[in-house]
Structure formats: C-alpha cells, structure tokens
Amino acid sequence: MTHPLNAEGVDPFAIASEAAKQIAEKSGITNHDIALTLGSGWAKAADLIGETVSEIPASQIVGFSKPAVVGHVGTIRSVRLPNGKHALVIGARTHFYENHGVRAVVHSVRTAAAAGAKVMVLTNGAGGIRKEWAGGAAVLISDHINLTAASPLEGATFIDLTDLYSKRLRDLAREVDSTLDEGVYCQFRGPHYETPAEVQMAKTMGGDIVGMSTALEAIAARQAGMEVLGMSLITNLAAGVQSTPLSHEEVLQAGKDAEARISELLAKIVVKL
C-alpha cells in the first residue's frame, strides 16, 4: 500500500511543485490566490463561488490518489471568483485512515501553496459535541486537538501553531453570518467513529467537534505560510451525545440536506478572504 509520495528519496515539496505546475498547465491559470478543500456536504460550493475555468480529475495530477470513499469528489477545479481572484478548489482529500501516510494527506495543501495560494479554506463534515448544533450547523474551527499521534512535518521542524485558525478570517466569516458559532476540532484517526467514552474525553479536553481530517492539513498549511480558515458542517451529534447509532449514510444525508445552505454561505465568505 505504499503511496508514490512515500517512496524513498522523494521530496514531498518537489512533488507538490510539480503538481502545481501541472495544474497551471492544464487550467491555464498560473497563480491561484486562495485554495479550498471541500469535505462532506460542501461540494456544491464549487459551483457557487464563481466561474469554473477548468476541472481536472485529481488522478491526472501527480501525487493525488483516487477518492477512497463514496461521497468524496475527486476533482481539482480552477474557479474565477467575482472579485477577480482565482480559487483552487480541491475535491480530493486523502484521509490519514487510508494508510497512505502523512505526506499523501497533506499533498493537496502543499500543492495549493505551490500554486500560489495564501489562504487555505479547510472544510469538513464532522460530529458535534454541543447539542445545540444538532440539525446541520456550520461551525467555525477556532483551534484543534490532534489526536492522531502524527504530524505532517518531518525532522526537527518546529512550527508555531498559535492562531492557526486565523482570527482575522473567522471575523471576516462572521461579517457574512454573525450567528456562526466556533469550536475546537479534535482529529481522531478513524475510520471508525469514536466511542461515547472517547467523545467524553474530547469534551473534557476542551473539544467541541470530532472529525478525521482537518488538523493535519492545517499544520501543513501553516508550515507553508498560508492563513487557515476552518469550517465544519455538523452532520451528526457525536457518539453518545446523540442516542442513535452513527452511520456514514446519515453523514451523507445530512451533507445533502445542508449542501445548498452552507455552500451559499461559503460562497459569500470566500469573496471576502
């Protein structure tokens, strides 16, 4: 199951530069100002934020693997925003639980940075620990707790993570919707959902949201010098907070139900970033 990015002697940053070059060639856009990773429920935003200049199957770009999960998209789009900026929209996320290693997980973020992006918008579908978020709330990520025991950084690379989820960008998002709540995102490895006891642990530690993606990506974005905006769609209350069992189908359905609303919200936020 070795991913090409993990082969010996491979420089992940060189592969990301190569991927960015391929995207520039295929899309005709040499510089992207902002990048978005669209998780469960957020895919429709790609249509709403602007005019699609180019849509490329991620499998045609070096370092990207095919999506492992039904409901994940698998394309990379170049979108011209109404404000004239260019957005790179990544519908292809590699999760840590796929076992391709951390380099594969953060390749999209490093590619976005190599493509010129100064702002990285990371979205996901996640479980909510706060009951008031039942029914598909969109929540800003204010900070994270990384419970994967992994880092995308290699060697003695000491990176500050203070204000990782930019307060400036959260404030801009609140100019669009002043009611947006925020919370601390706990990344578990997955792919199993958490046990109720693990959810209680996350809550005790200060967590509000449980998920399987964004923390590792955010760390790589910070290393690459990008400003990060994180947003979660609460597709379900976390295990034990809701009394019914969790299912992937429930997560997908909640994503579908919320898609139009949260995509419109994201489209309004993106032009401000």
What are the residue numbers of the active site? Answer: 194
Q: CB-wise, 29 or 234, nearer to ligand HPA? A: 234
The distance of closest approach from Cβ of residue 9 to ligand HPA in the complex, given in angstroms and rounded to an integer, is 35
Nearest-CB residue to ligand HPA?
127
Q: CB-wise, 105 or 115, nearer to ligand HPA? A: 105
In sequence order, the 6+-apart residues with CB closer than 8 A to the CB of 64 are: 19, 58, 76, 92, 94, 107, 108
What mask of x and - would describe binding to ligand HPA in positions 114 to 153, judged by CB under 6 A? -----------xxx--------------------------
Q: Which of 89, 69, 72, 96 is nearest to 3 (CA)?
A: 96
Decide if 61 contacts 19 (C-beta within 8 A).
yes
Task: Give Cα 133 distance to the centre of its chain.
Answer: 20
Bridge partners (DSSP) of residue 56 are 76
Residue found under tokens 């394309």: 75
The stretch near ligand HPA (CB under 6 A) out of 28-36, 143-151, 170-178, 206-214 is 206-214
Q: Given candidates 56, 106, 139, 212, which one binds ligand HPA under the rule CB under 6 A?
A: 212
Give the strand pairing for 34-37 and 86-90.
parallel
Q: Given candidates 15, 38, 251, 266, which one binds ligand HPA under the rule CB under 6 A?
A: 251
C-alpha 176/C-alpha 210 separation (Å) is 25
Q: Which of 59, 137, 51, 126 is nearest to 89 (CA)?
A: 51
Q: Given candidates 236, 258, 267, 269, which one binds ligand HPA under the rule CB under 6 A?
A: 236
The stretch near ligand HPA (CB under 6 A) out of 49-57, 174-182, 209-217, 218-226 is 209-217
When asked if residue 238 is in the footprint of ligand HPA (CB under 6 A), the reply is yes
When asked if residue 233 is in the footprint of ligand HPA (CB under 6 A), the reply is no
The distance of closest approach from Cβ of residue 198 to ligand HPA in the complex, given in angstroms and rounded to an integer, is 9
The distance of closest approach from Cβ of residue 48 to ligand HPA in the complex, given in angstroms and rounded to an integer, is 22
The residue type of 2 is T
101 torsion bin: left (phi>0), alpha (psi -120 to 50), beta (else): left
List of residues contacting ligand HPA (CB under 6 A): 125-127, 193-194, 210-212, 235-236, 238, 246, 251
